[in-house]
Amino acid sequence: MHADSSGYAIIVEGPNAIGTPGNVQLSVSNICKYPVVAFDPVIQAQYCETDPIVTLDLQELTGFMGSDTFYINGNQLNRINPDTLPSGINLPLVGIFKGDFCK
């Protein structure tokens, strides 16, 4: 797992064994930041089948731009309809795409 704002650096040398004359070194480094999202409205811990449909939206709290996609139990949805959710635990996820997360 890679922590937010933690950088990495790597040096690769080749094509021969390290220290061989004529080798080339390639250095790569980066610092990544990850989006911090909040469902808006907040997704409740419990819904009753008679509760109204909830249209899903989110706020990205650190200023990243990108598009979002919502999933409930692995199915792409843009709203929660409590009447059609199966009884039990339902897993909401959001995917953020096309964002400029690395600097």
How many angstroms separate the CA atoms of 57 and 83, rounded?
19
Which of the two residues, 98 and 73, has the higher pLDDT score? 73
pLDDT one-digit tens code per residue, 16-58: 999 999 999 999 988 877 777 888 888 888 999 999 999 998 8
Q: What per-residue confidence (pLDDT) applies to 98?
A: 58
Residue 6 predicted with pLDDT over 60 = yes
What b-and-e string marks burial along 11-24, b requiring 16 or more CB atoms within 10 Å of the CB?
Answer: eeeeeeeeeeeeee
For residue 55, give both structure tokens: 């249209």
Q: What's the pLDDT score for residue 14?
A: 94
Alpha-carbon gap, residue 86 to 96, rounded angstroms? 26
Please check whether residue 40 is in contact with residue 68, taking contact to mean a CB–CB distance below 8 angstroms: no
